[in-house]
């Protein structure tokens, strides 16, 4: 049985540093983002590590890994999600998947997908929709 969960992670900190900047305004950065959530269906802390590419017009693409630790439903443990996304200048849209065999504790056997769509108005929150099951 798949569970559908719509939640919002709070962005507790965002440390982003450029590692390559080009003369035309394009750049590459690395970000470490700390997140937390305490709502019905989930109570967790997470860290998202990502690499981002910014075009000269301010749009961007990103890829990252998120380590989540806490309670999902009535089970505790941790898991890792991998994902990619784009920012079009107005909206950030990303998709992610639970990395197989990364779930621990009572979440062992977790699989699923996530989607996030957000704008600057959502800050300091990141909306996240999870569809998951534990086998």
Which residues, including other chains, have CB under 8 Å from residue 119's CB and lie 6 or more apart? 90, 91, 92
CA distance 9 to 84: 17
Query: 96, 78 in Cβ contact below 8 A?
Result: no
CA distance 79 to 96: 12
pLDDT in tens, 102-127: 999 999 999 999 999 999 999 999 99
Residue with tokens 């017009």: 57
Coil vs helix vs strand at 9: strand
Global pTM reads 0.94
Looking at domain 3-134, its CATH class is mainly beta
Residue 34, token pair as written in the block: 């700390």
Sign of CA dihedral 28, 57, 65, 38: positive
What is the full per-residue pLDDT of the chain (135 aa) written as tens digits? 899 999 999 999 999 999 999 999 999 999 999 999 999 899 999 999 999 999 999 999 999 999 999 999 999 999 999 999 999 999 999 999 999 999 999 999 999 999 999 999 999 999 999 999 998
């Amino acid at each position: 049985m798949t569970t559908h969960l719509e939640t919002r992670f709070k962005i507790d900190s965002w440390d982003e540093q450029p590692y390559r900047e080009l003369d035309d305004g394009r750049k590459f950065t690395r970000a470490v983002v700390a997140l937390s959530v305490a709502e019905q269906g989930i109570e967790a802390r997470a860290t998202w590590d990502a690499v981002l590419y910014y075009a000269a017009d301010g749009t961007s693409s990103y890829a990252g890994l998120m380590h989540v630790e806490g309670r999902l439903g009535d089970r505790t443990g941790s898991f890792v999600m991998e994902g990619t996304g784009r920012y079009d200048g107005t909206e950030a849209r990303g998709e992610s998947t639970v990395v197989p065999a990364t779930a621990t504790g009572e979440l062992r056997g977790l699989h699923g997908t996530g989607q996030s769509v957000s704008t600057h108005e959502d800050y300091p929150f990141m909306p996240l929709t999870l569809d998951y099951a534990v086998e």
